[in-house]
Amino acid sequence: MAEVTPNADENPWKKLNVAIQDADTLRQEAVEAHTEHLITEIETLEGPLATTLRAVYDGEGVDYFMEKLDARIKGHDHEIERMCNYHYQGFIDSIRELQQVSGDATKLKGEIQGLNRELKFSCDPLLSKGDELVKYRKIQKNVTLAIESLSLCLPVLEMYGKLQEQMKCKRYYPALKTLEQLEHTYLPRVLNHWFSQTMAEAIPRLRERIKDASMVELKDFLESIRKHSAKIGEVAMRHAAEQNNMDPSIAKKRVKTRRAPPPPNPFTGEVEDVAPSPPTNNSDKEEELSAQDLIDFSPVYRCLHIYSLLGDKEKFESYYRSQRWKQAWLSLQPPPNMHESLDLFKKYFHDIIGFFVVEDHILHTTQGLVTRSHMDELWEKTVEKLSATLRITWEKQMESFQEKKTNNNQVAENNNLEEMEIEEVTTGSDSPQFTFTLSSHLPHNKSCKLASLMLEVKKLIVLFCHTLKGYGFSVGRLLELLLEMRDRYSVILSDQWIDVFTDIFTEDNYTPILCDKPEDYVIICSQFPYTDKELDKSEYPRQFPFSQFVPSIYVQVKEYINACLKFSADLHLSHTEIDDMIRKSANQLLTKTLGACLSKLIKKPSLSLLQLIQISINMNYLEMSCEYLEEYISSLTGAEKDSVHIARLHGSSMFKDARSEAEQQIYQQLNLKIDEFLDLASYDWTISDSKGQASSYLMDLVVFLKSIFMSFTNLPVFHTSCSKYVEKVAKTACMSACQHIASRLMALMLDNEVKLLSMGAFHQFNLDVMQCEQFAASAPIPDSNDGTLQMAFTDLRQLLDLFINWDWSVYLADYGKQQSRYLRVPRHIAVSLLEKLNNGDKKKNNLFASLKKNERDKKRLIETVLKQLKVLENGAA
């Protein structure tokens, strides 16, 4: 409004009117422009008109606007009318054309429908043909596919069939190969088939089956080698025997049928004495088959192949080894009664050899199934076990031997128990018959059997060693065992010879051998080295100085030496070793065995004096024979006679000892007889007067002694060449008898039981002693009357003289002097007897109350003497 005010100041109303007029025109123009603008906006604007309309309504020029707008609409209607007029003809033309097109279209539609129908009709067969074609094409494709599959599967199935076939035929190794192919080549090709799955599953099972089956075969094989190994061992042993020049029959087991003579069995023909006939050769050949030919080893190889193929070689190896070791161990277990029979020994050794022969074969034919070191290890164990077993067996043998021996002593008759066996044994080997010829009927048969069994077993062991040495095993320890066995052998032999000697002693009659015929004489001379030129010239009957047991013992000692020698055969010992061993054994036999037997014989109470004398004579001759024994040993062993005599025979000294023992026994026996007589003595020590003659027991004794010594020396009981020796023995015996009688008589008188003595008793006793003195003086042994025998009775004589002569003054006076008549009467004996005499008198005196002067004097004297004697005692003290 400010603009307007300033205008009013200057010419307000004129200016105003002009301004108003200008303003109105300006406003008019603006409204018109604005309306124009809005209408254009409405026409061009496509969106909502609200804002425009608002702008319209907000302004004042609505009416104007309306007018303008109507004007505009009228302009536009005009335009439209003009346009329509302009385009109307074209429109009509177009309609007409459209009508024409519509007719044409209907026509065309009909045509097309017809055509369509036609086409449909003609296409139907084609379509069905096409479908068929598709179907056939599908079938064709399937057939091709099937053929392809089948051609793939058929070989697989064929293989499988083959496999089954092989399994059936137990050809496990090819079966395994087939299986391999099947698994690795064929089955992958048919993997998508269901049966391949089944097959694939079946393969491990089949493998197991093959394994099991081959294992079964192996087990059969193992069983069969166990069965055959004894046979193999036997054959191997026989070969070894032939190679070592030993008797092959050692190895052979006795065939039972051999005992039945006819008909000749082809298997035993060769062992019979008949010359080998053609059929036996056949059997020979059969027997000569090598050990390996007896057994089919293929199962082992097969099994080994199969297992190594299956990658289980180690398992198989260890199985095989452990099984074989088990077998070996089984073989090494001796049968419980092995010690009784050689056959069992043989079987035992055969078994072991068989085992090693088989192992050796396996070692050489397979690679690594058995190794040398493994074998050696087995051998080591075997030797150990074998040694132990043999030792135990010896123990058992000894035990049963001792047992049987005691049994035999009780029942001498049951010796035919196993005689059959023994005979068989002897026929088989060279000739240990010597033991049987002498004593087969005697109870100690058993020990013979044992010794010969040991000998046979030793041969077996030697052969066993040879055989296995041939297979490369070291047998040193077994040979050592043999040496040990040898010691036992000699022990058993010695035991056996105890019986031999005892029998010889029982059978002898202890009288000099008397030969009526030259034949008998020659026999004895051949048995025993005894030369006597006089005897050679003398008439028959000829008498040897010794009794039968001398040649018998000599022969038996030689036999023993032979038996010992037998054991050292084949042991590869040197001459010196053998010589040494035999001398040792012989010494053992002489000093221990024979010595003990002789000692036992001599102690036998039933022997008579004369038998004892004969025994001591015999000892002289046996002693002399010792040097011949030495020669005999040297000749056997080949050791030089003059070589170092380390082991001389101790026989001589033993026989000397035995002789002196026999002599002692003679004296003792005689003393025992004397004792028996003296036991009969019955003295009445209080007898008032003697009976006037000697006691009867003493007379008997003297007569007995006389006849004994007469038989000793005066009768041709002993050989004349021994008379010197017998005389010597008889002299000593006589001396010892006299001394014994004297001491016994003295003891009778001094007996403490005797309390009282009478002079009558002294006289009676004196008579008896006189008998003895007479006997001593009578020279019971010719040429021996030198007074020595009587000296035995000196003590008694002096004592009796002292009492009977009542010589007390002399006794007391000379007491202690060398020349005293009563030197041998000891004071205490004199005292004791005097006291007894005094007591006897006292009793008598009391009884009769005798007051006789003589008696009183005597009594006084006794008391004086007693006093004196006691003085002597004190003086001596």
* Candidate ranges 45-53, 195-203, 582-590, 685-693; the one touching another protein (CB under 8 A): 685-693
Told to check if 753 binds another protein by CB under 8 A, we report yes
> Which amino acid is it at 11?
N
610 belongs to the binding site for another protein (CB under 8 A): yes
Would you call 129 exposed, middle or buried from its count of C-beta atoms within 10 A (0-12, 13-18, 19+)? Answer: exposed
* Amino acid code (one letter) for 245: N
Going 834 to 839 to 844 to 850, the CA torsion angle's sign is: positive
511 binds another protein (CB under 8 A): yes
- Which pair of tokens denotes residue 379? 């051998």
Span interacting with another protein, options 174-182, 295-303, 525-533, 707-715, rule CB under 8 A = 707-715
CB neighbour list of residue 685: distance below 8 Å, 6 or more residues apart: 754, 756, 757, 758, 761, 840
* 686 is an interface residue for another protein by CB under 8 A: yes
Q: Report the residue from 679, 689, 786, 863 that binds another protein according to the rule CB under 8 A.
A: 679
Number of residues that bind another protein (CB under 8 A): 40
Smallest separation, CB 342 to another protein (Å): 34
Least Å distance, CB 609 to another protein, is 8
Question: Is residue 684 involved in binding another protein (CB under 8 A)?
Answer: yes
Nearest to 500 by CA among 597, 625, 599, 411: 597
Alpha helices, H only, 472-548: 476-507, 518-527, 533-537
Three-class DSSP category at 514: strand
Please state the closest distance from residue 444 (CB atom) to another protein, in A. 17
**Residue linked to tokens 């199969």:** 306
Cβ closest to another protein, residue 310 vs residue 610: 610
Point out which span in 654-662, 671-679, 736-744, 772-780 binds another protein (CB under 8 A).
671-679
Question: Which member of 717, 746, 823, 829 binds another protein (CB under 8 A)?
Answer: 717
Q: With CB under 8 A as the contact rule, which of the stretches 30-38, 224-232, 746-754, 822-830 interacts with another protein?
A: 746-754
Stretch that binds another protein, among 191-199, 261-269, 678-686, 773-781 (CB under 8 A): 678-686
State yes or no: residue 506 binds another protein (CB under 8 A): yes
Q: Which string of DSSP letters, residue by residue, matches 542-589?
A: EEEEEETHHHHHHHHHHHHHHHHHHHHTTS---HHHHHHHHHHHHHII
Angle at 715 between CA 713 and CA 719, to 5 degrees: 75
**Which of 556, 365, 346 minimizes the C-alpha distance to 458?**
346
Angle, vertex CA 126, rays to CA 121 and CA 127, nearest 5: 95
Asked if residue 153 binds another protein (CB under 8 A), the reply is no
Interface pick for another protein out of 257, 318, 696, 720 (rule CB under 8 A): 696
How many other C-beta atoms are found inside a 10 Å radius of the C-beta of residue 678? Answer: 18
Q: What is the dihedral of CA 634, 636, 640, 645, to 10 degrees?
A: -40
Question: In terms of Cα–Cα distance, which of 288, 325, 320 is closest to 304?
Answer: 320
Q: Terminal CA-to-CA distance of the chain, rounded, Å?
A: 207
Most distant CA atoms of the chain, gap in Å: 252
36 near another protein, rule: CB under 8 A: no
Q: Which is nearer to another protein, 839 or 864 (CB)?
A: 839
Q: What is the DSSP string of 14-36?
A: HHHHHHHHHHHHHHHHHHHHHHH
704 binds another protein per the rule CB under 8 A: yes
Using CB under 8 A, which of the segments 80-88, 117-125, 426-434, 680-688 binds another protein?
Answer: 680-688
Element (H, E) at 515: strand 512-515
Judged by CB under 8 A, the residue of 710, 779, 823, 831 near another protein is 710
- Interface characters, 568-607, with another protein (x: CB under 8 A): --------------------------------------x-
User: Which one among 160, 186, 345, 510 touches another protein, defined by CB under 8 A?
Assistant: 510
Residues contacting 541, CB < 8 A, separation 6+? 514, 515, 516
Q: What is the smallest separation between the CB atom of 534 and another protein, expressed in angstroms?
A: 23
Residue 516 near another protein by CB under 8 A:
no
DSSP designation for 185: I
d(CA 429, CA 250): 7
Among 83, 95, 145, 680, binds another protein (CB under 8 A): 680
Q: In the complex, what is the shortest distance from the CB of residue 699 to another protein, in angstroms, rounded to a whole number?
A: 6
Omega before 263 within 30 of 0, i.e. cis: yes
3-class state of residue 90 by DSSP: helix
Selected from 611, 634, 784, 838, the binder of another protein by CB under 8 A is: 611
CB of 551 to another protein, least distance (A): 17
Q: Using CB atoms within 10 A of its CB, is residue 372 exposed (0-12), middle (13-18) or buried (19+)? A: exposed
Closer of 291 and 609 to another protein (Cβ):
609
**Stretch near another protein under the rule CB under 8 A, chosen from 141-149, 429-437, 691-699, 846-854:** 691-699
Nearer to another protein, 375 or 678 (CB): 678
Q: Does 770 bind another protein (CB under 8 A)?
A: no
Rounded to whole angstroms, the Cα distance separating 755 from 132 reads 165
* Of 196 and 547, CB closest to another protein: 547
Query: Can you tell me which residue has the tokens 């608002």?
Result: 54
Residue whose CB is less far from another protein, 572 or 706: 706
- Bridge partners (DSSP) of residue 542 are 515
Q: Does residue 699 belong to the site contacting another protein (CB under 8 A)? A: yes
Q: Are 815 and 798 in contact (CB under 8 A)?
A: no
| Member of 173, 267, 683, 806 binding another protein (CB under 8 A) | 683
Q: Which residue has the tokens 């303008």?
A: 68
Residue 748 lies near another protein (rule: CB under 8 A): yes
Identified binder of another protein from the candidate list 693, 794, 805, 839, rule CB under 8 A: 693
| Closest distance to another protein from the beta carbon of 756 (Å) | 10
Residue number with CB closer to another protein (326 or 842):
842
Q: Residue 141 or residue 843: which is nearer to another protein going by CB? A: 843
Contact range with another protein by CB under 8 A, out of 390-398, 435-443, 470-478, 508-516: 508-516
Interface residue with another protein among 49, 213, 754, 831 (CB under 8 A) is 754
| Smaller CB separation from another protein, 698 or 789 | 698
| Closest of 416, 475, 476, 462 to residue 442, by C-alpha | 416
Instruction: Quote the least distance from Cβ 833 to another protein, whole Å.
Output: 15
Cis peptide before 541 (omega within 30 of 0): yes
Nearer to another protein, 5 or 682 (CB): 682
DSSP letters, 255-298, are: PGGGGS-SSPPTTTGGGSSSPPPHHHHHHHHHHHS-GGGGS--H
Quick check: 778 binds another protein (CB under 8 A)? Answer: no
- If one asks whether residue 672 binds another protein (CB under 8 A), the answer comes out as no
Shortest Cβ 509–another protein spacing (Å): 5
Which one of 215, 681, 791, 823 is in contact with another protein (CB under 8 A)? 681
Q: Which two tokens stand for residue 552?
A: 């018998």
- Note whether 412 binds another protein by CB under 8 A: no
Give the interface with another protein as residue ranges (CB under 8 A).
Answer: 506-511, 606, 608, 610-611, 673, 676, 679-686, 691, 693-697, 699-700, 703-704, 707-708, 710-711, 715, 717, 748, 751, 753-754
